[in-house]
């Protein structure tokens, strides 16, 4: 048997053991190649293309490399440790370290090159599917055409080549630094040094729970007005981040053990098989893996959080647009409006029109702001007359605010009554504040601010109009809203709107166009975040799986004992299932709950609907994630079967 034989044989064996690793490698190279191909695709060109997402994809591909390289390097440390005995044996029979290194390099190279080639092939065929998904979610009607990009190919090869090089350097360092004796020891040094729980651990355990809980508490108060200024909010956010991450670490370090220890103590030494397999082993393992678990939990929380938020935004684009853009078309000059309306009439599209005069005034709201993050309570607000707003009747002294959405609610909250001061150029008038409505009368795109509009009595409005400060006015003080009578006409009308040659200086908007462009933007973001999240999910799932693979082999002797004692393999597998529910479930549940609190604290900046998109995202994540748990149980099954 020569060396080539040896390499081939090792490969065969490894492929069986590490099919998931190969899968992750193929998947990530495919995804990377697809991203890069998309990036070089003319459809995505920032200037001429249909989708403006080149920058997003570029950022995504860099993040992807970061995730993938950390994963590959980490997985490699697991593998090389597993093979330390074999390496020791080679050394023992007199093989020089250089040659061992060569064997490993060639083996890895074959594994790598094959996965990469398959990955690139799949990535290429997949990129068409991907661009179709992208077109679909961004609502673009285009036929996906793709060309094999040599540039993308070289970039992929270079990037993965560099990662391979790093892995080789790592392996080299590992082989170099080991002596024969220590090589034999690596895998026999069990990670769990079983010790009884100490007071320090109990304290760590309690602290961990406290840290997480306080992080959650602060996050729930974050935008409720408890924090006045932007600085305070930033500080609070950092506090949350720190306390949750530290809390998570301490949780794995101590709390899991502490909690399980309480359960175990109550059993008074009488543990059944399920408890033996789950409780006792998790108690020791979680602690030694606490750093890795913290990283996985934190990043999966981030991934789920971003996925939720981007999906929430995407999900509520339509609803948000209807809320903040009240009319189908917004036009800011009579001339443009006439131009557009004539065309509509020619095409026999029925419509209604509303004209609202809008002036901008400085308004001092000090008296009515309950809490807010803006340091100044005097703001420039759009002012409209009550006669232009349907269903509002005010007396001379009264003032109503309108256009108060959840995003604004997060930034400032109002008292139910009080007074406001409206400042003109010369005079200041004081008005009774009677409340705030949700409804928007004029488009926020027209007013160029997210702040509410002020409604006053018509008489007051005319007075104010004489006293305006010209420097804070918009180019046009006329807001023209055009609404279609039949929804069915909207596509046709939108086409007309696009065709119409408006004055370049005016603010002319179509709601449909806005929705489409936002959908495009959010679609690209969601697409990128989605695939990054998927990559992360797969890589972290793989790492947990590998860890479990290791653990199952370390515990094989235990299974032998248990089976000799008369437990059936079914008993054992039942226990293992519970154990895996904990092993995979704890990081998942903590990750989900972190992201839940993160999303909940600020979701209203992103959209209108929290539950549906969040539950969909979390559900999908859980399903995909549990596949790895199930695979690990299957692996355990094999080990247990072999144990006797």
Residue 557 engages another protein in binding (rule: CB under 8 A): yes
Contacts (CB under 8 A) with another protein, residues 147-206: 190, 192-196
**Cβ distance to another protein smaller for residue 192 or 374:** 192
553 vs 569, which CB is nearer to another protein? 569
CB of 564 to another protein, least distance (A): 5
Which residue in the set 281, 300, 364, 510 belongs to the binding site for another protein (CB under 8 A)? 281
Q: Which structure tokens are listed for 348?
A: 């026999």
Should residue 567 be labelled a site residue for another protein when binding is judged by CB under 8 A?
yes
Of 51-59, 198-206, 384-392, 560-568: span binding another protein (CB under 8 A): 560-568
What element of type H or E holds 75? helix 54-82
Applying CB under 8 A, among 212, 412, 451, 562 the residue interacting with another protein is 562
According to the binding rule CB under 8 A, does residue 517 interact with another protein? no
Nearest distance in Å: CB 573, another protein:
13
Residue labelled with tokens 């370090």: 253
Tell whether residue 2 is a contact of another protein (CB under 8 A). no
- Between 469 and 554, name the residue whose CB sits nearer to another protein: 554
Which residue, chain included where needed, has tokens 């093989």?
Answer: 95
Identify the three-state secondary structure at position 610: coil
Nearest CA-CA partner of 65 in 191, 158, 176, 194: 158
Q: Which of 203, 568, 612, 634 binds another protein (CB under 8 A)?
A: 568
| Shortest Å distance, C-beta 631 to another protein | 24
Cα gap 586→297, rounded to integer Å = 9
Which range touches another protein (CB under 8 A), out of 138-146, 281-289, 346-354, 543-551? 281-289
**Concatenated DSSP letters of 184-198:** HHHTTS-S-------
Long-range contacts of 202-207 (CB under 8 A, 24+ apart): 202/254, 202/258, 203/254, 204/250, 204/253, 204/254, 204/255, 204/258, 205/250, 205/251, 205/253, 205/254, 205/255, 205/256, 205/257, 205/258, 205/259, 206/254, 206/255, 206/258, 207/247, 207/250, 207/254
Binding part of the chain for another protein, among 5-13, 154-162, 523-531, 562-570 by CB under 8 A, reads: 562-570
Among 11, 106, 144, 271, binds another protein (CB under 8 A): 271
Beta strands in 537-629 (DSSP E): none
For residue 249 the two structure tokens come to 């670490």
Q: Give whichever of 413 and 558 is closer to another protein, judged by the CB atom.
A: 558
Cα-only R_g, the chain? 32
**Residue 408, Cβ neighbours under 10 Å: how many?**
19
Residue number, 285 or 511, with CB nearest to another protein: 285
Which residue, 53, 26, 25, is CA-closest to 40? 53
Q: What are the structure tokens assigned to 172, written together?
A: 């080299």
Q: What is the dihedral of CA 424, 425, 426, 427, to 10 degrees?
A: 0
Which of 343, 490, 560, 626 touches another protein by CB under 8 A? 560
| 573 counts as binding another protein under rule CB under 8 A | no
Question: Pattern 536-555, binding to another protein, x per CB under 8 A?
Answer: --------------------
The distance of closest approach from Cβ of residue 556 to another protein in the complex, given in angstroms and rounded to an integer, is: 12
> Which one, 8 or 276, has the nearer CB to another protein?
276
226's CB contacts (< 8 A; 6+ apart) are 371
- Whichever of 267 and 462 has its CB closer to another protein, that residue is 267
Identity of the residue, 454 or 572, whose beta carbon is nearer to another protein in the bound complex: 572
Helices 511-554, 490-499: crossing angle, 10 deg rounding: 110
Report in angstroms how near the CB of residue 310 gets to another protein at its nearest. 43
Helices (H) and strands (E) in the chain, counts: 22, 12
Q: Is 561 in the site for another protein (CB under 8 A)?
A: yes
Choices 273-281, 337-345, 412-420, 440-448; region in contact with another protein by CB under 8 A? 273-281
Chosen residue from 469, 558, 593, 626 binding another protein by CB under 8 A: 558
Does 340 engage in binding with another protein (CB under 8 A)? no
Nearer to another protein among residue 479 and residue 559 (C-beta) = 559
Residues of this chain that bind another protein (CB under 8 A): 190, 192-196, 268-273, 276, 280-281, 283-284, 557-558, 560-571, 644
């Amino acid at each position: 048997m020569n060396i080539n034989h040896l390499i081939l044989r090792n490969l065969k064996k490894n492929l069986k053991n590490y099919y998931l690793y190969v899968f992750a490698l193929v998947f990530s190279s495919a995804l990377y190649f697809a991203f890069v191909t998309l990036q070089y695709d003319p459809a995505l060109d920032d200037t001429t293309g249909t989708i403006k997402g080149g920058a997003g994809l570029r950022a995504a591909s860099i993040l992807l490399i970061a995730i993938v390289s950390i994963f590959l390097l980490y997985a490699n440390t697991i593998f090389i440790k597993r093979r330390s005995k074999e390496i020791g044996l080679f050394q023992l029979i007199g093989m020089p370290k250089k040659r061992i290194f060569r064997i490993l390099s060639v083996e890895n190279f074959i594994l790598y090159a094959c996965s990469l080639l398959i990955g690139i092939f799949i990535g290429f065929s997949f990129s068409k599917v991907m661009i179709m998904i992208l077109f679909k979610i961004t609502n673009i009607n285009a036929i996906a055409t793709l060309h094999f990009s040599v540039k993308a190919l070289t970039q992929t090869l270079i990037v993965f080549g560099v990662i391979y090089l790093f892995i080789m350097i790592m392996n080299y360092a590992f082989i170099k630094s080991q002596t024969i004796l220590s090589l034999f020891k690596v895998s026999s040094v069990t990670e769990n040094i079983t010790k009884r729980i100490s007071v320090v651990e109990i304290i760590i355990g309690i602290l961990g729970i406290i840290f997480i809980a306080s992080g959650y508490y602060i996050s729930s108060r974050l935008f409720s007005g408890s924090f006045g200024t932007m600085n305070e909010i930033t500080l609070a956010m950092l506090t949350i981040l720190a306390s949750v991450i530290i809390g998570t670490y301490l949780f794995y370090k101590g709390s899991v053990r502490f909690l399980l220890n309480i359960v175990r103590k109550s059993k008074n030494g009488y543990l059944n098989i399920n408890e033996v397999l789950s409780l006792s082993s998790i108690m020791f393992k979680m602690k030694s893996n606490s750093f890795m678990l913290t990283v996985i939990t934190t990043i999966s929380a981030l991934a789920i959080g971003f996925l939720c938020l981007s999906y929430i935004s995407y999900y509520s684009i339509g609803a948000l647009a209807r809320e903040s853009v009240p009319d189908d078309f917004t036009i800011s000059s009579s001339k443009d409006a006439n131009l557009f309306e004539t065309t509509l009439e020619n095409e026999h599209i029925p419509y209604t029109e509303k004209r609202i005069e809008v002036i901008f005034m400085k308004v001092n709201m000090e008296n009515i702001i309950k809490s807010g993050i803006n340091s100044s309570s005097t703001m420039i607000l759009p002012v409209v007359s009550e006669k232009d707003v349907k269903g509002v009747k005010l007396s001379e002294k009264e003032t109503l605010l309108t256009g108060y959405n959840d995003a604004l609610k997060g930034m400032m909250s109002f008292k139910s009554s009080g007074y406001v001061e409206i400042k003109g150029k010369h005079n200041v008038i004081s008005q009774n504040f009677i409340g705030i409505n949700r409804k928007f009368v004029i488009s926020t795109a027209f007013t160029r601010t997210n702040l509410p509009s002020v409604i006053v009595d018509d008489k007051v409005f005319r007075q104010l109009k004489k006293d305006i400060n010209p420097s804070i006015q918009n180019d046009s003080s006329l807001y023209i809203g055009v609404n279609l009578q039949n929804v069915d006409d909207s596509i046709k009308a939108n086409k007309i709107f696009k065709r119409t040659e408006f004055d370049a200086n005016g603010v002319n908007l179509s709601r449909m166009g806005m929705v489409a462009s936002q959908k495009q933007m959010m679609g690209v973001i969601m697409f990128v975040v989605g695939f990054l999240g998927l990559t992360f999910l797969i890589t972290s799932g793989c790492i947990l799986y590998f860890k479990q693979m290791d653990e199952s082999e370390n515990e094989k002797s235990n299974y032998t004992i248990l089976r000799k004692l008369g437990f059936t393999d079914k008993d054992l597998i039942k226990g293992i299932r519970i154990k895996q529910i904990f092993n995979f479930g704890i990081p998942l549940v903590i990750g989900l709950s972190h992201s839940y609190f993160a999303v909940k604290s600020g979701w209203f900046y992103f959209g209108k609907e929290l539950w549906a998109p969040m539950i969909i995202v979390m559900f999908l994540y859980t399903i995909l994630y549990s596949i790895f748990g199930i695979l690990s149980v299957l692996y355990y099954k094999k080990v247990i079967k072999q144990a006797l």
